[in-house]
Structure 1
């Protein structure tokens, strides 16, 4: 088995490397754009106006309440088929992109990630100490300024561990792209199995690469978490010193 594992790693290293790069690409784009979409969704979810909450609530409910693989199939086979049936679309320049499963996977992962992150951010916003918000209002800050200078920084400190977990979840979710012919890491492993009939060796190789990615992500996010914690402690110390100075 060890010899077969070495054979897979040396003979099909190019496939595994390309799958690794595609996995990282899917992860990075999903997290970045998912986060950007999640922020306004989270702000809308904490609004006191029911009609403002309604659409984000429906979006989050659908994407959190249905299996990711069902969303991916609906996007690729459902929307893809509807687009393919549009008259003349296959002669249009956009068909080069519309027939590529990459974009359907990316859109599905971005929207799914946005839904989960929006709910995490909503919880973070609601857990920001009310006293800090009231103090900002008393200083005459506008709502947008309060969000930028008070709520969002505190929110990130609160949600960072959960945010880290969601990023790792998204990494593992990218493996579903292989079900629609994408050659990311799991897809590359399946292709190796089809070529060599060595399932254990192929998936052990892919699994080790996933573990390495998770380790690097965890290490990096832990470093950011420590920075956020130190920054929070620094602000608290300044606040205590300011209060002490006011009593003198």
Structure 2
């Protein structure tokens, strides 16, 4: 049961990082773009996402949108409403939206922190605006946001435990609750869940440390 719970947790984490990452990247471009209308739309989205708890967002999608009569009438025939009858999809959608809101602000901050001299140097070398973006601005922004992004990933990994509040969704915390209700072993069940979360956290932290060591090596002081 715990093996299945770990698979569900990893599946949700990978899904929210992929879909939330794409949405967050688009929102970051909107936040840093020239269009005032797009900036305000993206700002309103990130403000709402960061201003409300993740649990409430999860409830709004699973117990709110997914339970509307006109959505349930289209569960079996109309795309994309066919996915809303799946608890795992509702949880991943809520987590992806939340991750996109935070990632957009993190990435936008990294883009805004690009030194003007680097951009001017790119134009002076004859680069187009698009080439400056993917050769200078984005690589530098990605290196700068690695530390805050790693913290965001850790928080989202721990936040996936809220999926256990949805019936029939068996992540690590959901499995612990099932074992507790079946065998009346609360301490052992949740202690083992905590150990699993610690192991996953250690694994993710190791990956981010390797990435930071690789992509931010130029910031380390050099030995003389």
- State whether TM-score is above 0.5: yes
Residue 168 of structure 1: which of 125, 148, 154 is its match? 154
SS of equivalent residue, structure 1 residue 140: coil
**Matching of residues 207-246 of structure 1 within 5 Å:** 207-230=194-217, 232=218
Q: Could you report, residue by residue, the CA deviation over 1:32-62 in whole angstroms, capped at 9, with x for unpaired residues?
A: 2211111121121122432120111111111
Matched, 1:89 2:74: yes
Give the 3 Å change call, closer, same or farther, for CA 86–128 of structure 1 in structure 2.
closer
Shift of 1:224: 0.8
Give the 3 Å change call, closer, same or farther, for CA 108–142 of structure 1 in structure 2.
same
Q: How many residues align?
A: 219
The gaps in structure 2 that reach 5 residues or longer are none
Give the 3 Å change call, closer, same or farther, for CA 93–152 of structure 1 in structure 2.
closer
Which structure has the bigger radius of gyration?
1
Q: For the aligned residues, what is the CA RMSD?
A: 1.9
Tell me the equivalent position of 1:12: none
The gaps in structure 1 that reach 5 residues or longer are 1-14, 238-248
Q: Which has the higher helix share?
A: 1
Tell me the equivalent position of 1:244: none
Moved more, 48-57 or 163-172: 48-57
Shift of 1:216: 0.4
TM-score (norm 2): 0.92
Q: Check whether the contact 2:76–2:82 (CA below 8 A) recurs between aligned residues.
A: no
TM-score (norm 1): 0.83
Q: Could you report, residue by residue, the CA deviation over 1:174-217 in whole angstroms, capped at 9, with x for unpaired residues?
A: 00001112110000100010011111110000000000000000
Give the 3 Å change call, closer, same or farther, for CA 137–101 of structure 1 in structure 2.
same
Q: Could you report, residue by residue, the CA deviation over 1:77-108 in whole angstroms, capped at 9, with x for unpaired residues?
A: 110111x4458435538676331111111111
